[in-house]
Amino acid sequence: MAIQRVVPDFTSADPAASAGFYSDVLGFELAMDMGWIATFVSPSHPTAQVTVMSKDATAPVNPDASIEVDDVDEIYAKARAGGFEIVHPLTDEPWGVRRFFVRDPNGMVINVMSHLDG
């Protein structure tokens, strides 16, 4: 199993103000905007990213962090075998990711995901 990237997911009551902060103040560039979630990347280090969301459009809660892995099915099986709470089931999302949410021992909700091929 390989981890591809780790991204903090911030919930915002004012996504436009958050977008201005991350782009105008910190110098991040907008990489993706789906209305309810926006991803910002560092122009000099593209794996340095943050996401800002109002409310996750397809899950019951907002995650605290997203971790991209090369085999999400393997991690899902390990999380279930370990007895961890699955907060959102393994799902293929229409925007090209396969993901699930799991609660870590500290109560944080982690979005574990992989990009779908094609």
Sketch the domain layout of the chain as residue ranges: 3-115
CATH architecture for the domain at 3-115: Roll (3.10)
Work out the number of other CB atoms within 10 angstroms of the CB of residue 86.
13
Q: pLDDT tens string for the chain (118 positions)?
A: 688 888 889 999 988 889 899 999 999 999 989 888 899 999 999 889 999 999 988 889 999 999 999 999 999 999 999 999 999 999 999 888 999 999 999 999 999 999 988 5
Report the distance separating Cα 44 and Cα 36, nearest Å.
26
Report the distance separating Cα 28 and Cα 98, nearest Å.
26
Cβ-based burial of 113 (10 A; exposed 0-12, middle 13-18, buried ≥19): buried
pTM: 0.87
